[in-house]
Amino acid sequence: MGDFKTLTDMVRLAQSNLDKGDWDYLVGAADTEASLRRNRAALDAWAFVPRILQDVSNVRTATRLLGQNLRIPVVLPPIGSVQAFTPDGGSAVAQAAAEFGVLQILSSSCSPDFETVAKDVLGPRVYQLYLTGDQAWLDDQIERTIASGYAGFCLTADTQVYSRRERDIMQGYIPMQARTATGTMLDQGGANYQSTMTWDTVAHIKGKFDIPLIVKGVLNPDDAKRCVDAGVDVVYVSNHGGRQLDHTVACIDALPDVVAAVDGQVPVVVDGGFMRGADVIKGLCLGATAVGMGRFEALAAAAGGVPAMLRALTILEREIQISLALTGIADVCDLHADLVTRLQPLRPSHALSAFPLLEEDY
Ligand SMILES: Cc1cc2nc3c(=O)[nH]c(=O)nc-3n(C[C@H](O)[C@H](O)[C@H](O)COP(=O)(O)O)c2cc1C
């Protein structure tokens, strides 16, 4: 369960615990999966130019986001149907996040629902909502989010329509949250409210509700600027792990221009391909306050629920501490862009290329 020694072992364990449908839902992406591979290729292409002879005897990995302390600069992003990976689903992630000290963003597309998770598990978290109703429905959902004590509300803006994920289509796989009791596709019925979401939705939420708002799915610096102008509290750079629009820029490549556009006015979070401690450090060097790790979270959950998630986060923390010390920086908040440079990736990248030893006989 939670006794693996490396993150490579964690991935192996996760794969052995999942059937092919759930595994492909986890690692797969949209269309040709180019966005997914580009995320990883770009991360693989950034290389450190470390500093030496700095006192790193006491490295500090903690940061703050939305008024919350993060033990490491990591958030656990929304994972729909996370109950396919560990039976307690969103509650298991909530428990691991609270116990370890990172922020969970709970998906509206998983179970248990956000109010049950809030009752079950103490601890700050953010609620990410997919719109499945009109403005009155949205208002009611936000009121209930606030009443349940959530520290923030997240709109995912890159999912106007659901993409075509060929691994799932070819296997007839239906994500757990979209299945009926007999295993057929749930009839979502009526209008696609996600596709009607606009800047007016953002203005409406900011004008009416007193809860910090995260907009997730920003890649274009003009949109980042518009978020700031609209009073958005956190700009979240993401291409949904390559699961929505194919052939986007890599998230870590979009990050510097977004950070420049935001100009320090609000924190920037980034996700897309981050799997290891060194990846987290690269994201912070390029201006992120924290990094989201979606497949990492799902793989850890699949490796053995809460104990495995705690173990994975502990190994990740150690990797972050080591990378930090070896770049010659004592505090994650002092990382800066001069510590990285862009080179060629060593070999073709894919969803799991952060774990090259998977292909070896260890
Ligand atoms: C299995 C799975 C389900 C996801 N479900 C959601 C979701 O419900 N809402 C959302 O905003 N993003 C969702 N995402 C995207 C993640 O929140 C995150 O943006 C992405 O996983 C980051 O890329 P990474 O997996 O390479 O870390 C999902 C990702 C995965 C892998």
CA–centroid distance, 113 to ligand 1, in Å, is: 17
| Predicted confidence (pLDDT) at residue 189 exceeds the cutoff of 80 | no
Region of 150 (left: φ > 0; alpha: ψ -120 to 50; beta: rest) is beta
* Tokens matching residue 112: 């248990």
Block residue for tokens 């060593």: 346
Confidence tier at 190 by pLDDT (50, 70, 90): low
Residues in the chain: 362
% of the chain surpassing 90 pLDDT: 92
CA–centroid distance, 175 to ligand 1, in Å, is: 13
Q: Does residue 141 have its Cβ closer than 6 Å to ligand 1? A: no
* Tokens matching residue 210: 């007193």
For the stretch 309-327, pLDDT in tens is: 999 999 999 999 999 999 9
**Do the bridges between strand 152-156 and strand 268-271 make them parallel or antiparallel, or are there none, so unpaired?**
unpaired
Q: Which stretches of the chain are DSSP H helices?
A: 7-17, 20-27, 34-45, 89-100, 114-120, 135-147, 166-171, 199-208, 221-229, 251-262, 277-285, 294-327
Give me the pLDDT at residue 257, please.
Answer: 98
Position 3: which residue type?
D
* Tokens matching residue 260: 């420049």
Q: Does residue 271 have its Cβ closer than 6 Å to ligand 1? A: yes
Across the chain, mean pLDDT equals 96
Specify the ligand 1 atom closest to the Cα of 78. Answer: 17
Specify the ligand 1 atom closest to the Cα of 293. Answer: 27
CA pair distance 321, 181, nearest whole angstrom = 45
Going from N- to C-terminal start, the domains of the chain cover 7-178+185-343
| Predicted confidence (pLDDT) at residue 185 exceeds the cutoff of 80 | no
**Do the bridges between strand 74-76 and strand 152-156 make them parallel or antiparallel, or are there none, so unpaired?**
unpaired
**Mean of pLDDT values over 267-290:** 98
| Predicted confidence (pLDDT) at residue 346 exceeds the cutoff of 90 | no
The neighbour count for residue 55, using CB atoms within 10 Å, is 8
Superfamily of domain 7-178+185-343: Aldolase class I (3.20.20.70)
CA–centroid distance, 231 to ligand 1, in Å, is: 24
- The structure's pTM equals 0.98
The per-type count for the chain, helices as H runs and strands as E runs, is 12, 12
For the stretch 211-231, pLDDT in tens is: 999 999 999 999 999 999 999
Give me the pLDDT at residue 362, please.
Answer: 82
CA–centroid distance, 79 to ligand 1, in Å, is: 5
Give me the pLDDT at residue 188, please.
Answer: 66
Give me the pLDDT at residue 172, please.
Answer: 94
| Predicted confidence (pLDDT) at residue 89 exceeds the cutoff of 70 | yes
Specify the ligand 1 atom closest to the Cα of 216. Answer: 11
Instruction: Judge whether 319 and 276 are in contact, CB under 8 Å.
Output: yes
**Atom 1, ligand 1: residue with shortest CA distance:** 26
Residues known to be catalytic: 240
CA pair distance 278, 273, nearest whole angstrom = 12
